[in-house]
């Protein structure tokens, strides 16, 4: 399943996502940013679809963390299940060759620009 509340599926026990240093594969370093969602609809319907379309332009693996849960940023259903509302603070994580660019692009979408 794309939505996870913990990281036990990769065989690692972590107290919190930020403390977890394990990755399911070796690659470029993971980067992350925190963003306050500015769109009046939050990440629902059209804004969520735009977020997913933007994420899919990049080769990096990208996740959204909210309320202790993690979603694949390239899956609309996974993102919608998080229930992110306007004003919520989300963490966007990316790992891969274009991680930095993906985070910048997704930040713009999340804040509603």
Give residue 86's pLDDT. Answer: 94
Give residue 75's pLDDT. Answer: 97
| 8 Å CB contact between 35 and 107 | yes
For residues 15 and 64, what is the distance between their CA atoms, to the nearest angstrom?
A: 18
Catalytic residues: 44
Mean pLDDT of 63-90: 96
For 78-95, the pLDDT digits (tens) are 999 999 999 999 999 999
For 7-60, the pLDDT digits (tens) are 444 433 333 344 344 444 456 679 999 999 998 989 998 999 999 999 999 999
Give residue 112's pLDDT. Answer: 86
Domains, the chain, with CATH or none: 8-111 (3.30.1340.10)
């Amino acid at each position: 399943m794309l939505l996870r509340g913990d990281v036990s599926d990769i065989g690692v026990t972590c107290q919190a996502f930020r403390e977890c240093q394990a990755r399911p594969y070796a690659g470029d370093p993971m980067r992350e940013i925190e963003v306050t969602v500015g769109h009046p609809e939050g990440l629902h319907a059209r804004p969520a679809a735009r977020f997913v379309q933007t994420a899919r332009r990049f080769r990096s693996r990208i996740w959204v963390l909210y309320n202790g849960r993690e979603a694949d940023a390239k899956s609309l259903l996974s993102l919608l299940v998080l229930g992110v509302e306007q004003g919520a603070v989300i963490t966007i994580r990316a790992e891969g060759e274009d991680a930095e660019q993906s985070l910048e692009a997704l930040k713009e979408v999340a804040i509603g620009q």
